[in-house]
Structure 1
């Protein structure tokens, strides 16, 4: 279980925006999390799933510039 700062570091957003991105994911219920009283913890697997779900793969182009 990761705290919000650790989640931001794992997502690679901590240097640019601190903890805003993971907090937004939590507020919008776009990521799994657990509340312990006032504390919020995010499972490491939820971060990995989020990254996998939002990964965009390049499109292969043929010689004419069209998608293969």
Structure 2
């Protein structure tokens, strides 16, 4: 799932990223722009793509299955 962090002090927001990376960017933003203020704001989850990268795994699984079937048909 992708996450976006919004700054509680200004209008900054991170791009849609993995949760840990978005959090790192939020912390870096606070260190640069709001020194001495603990990171705050809101976190937004991208609910349109709840599977995240597992869709790639499914495609790869189907491709491997097709390769195995194709190899078993050769004589």
Question: Which fold has the larger relative contact order, with Cα–Cα distance below 8 Å and residues 6 or more apart in sequence?
Answer: 2
> Do both proteins adopt the same fold according to a TM-score greater than 0.5, normalized to the shorter chain?
no
The normalised TM-score by structure 2 is 0.27
Structure number with greater Rg is 2
Higher relative strand content: 2
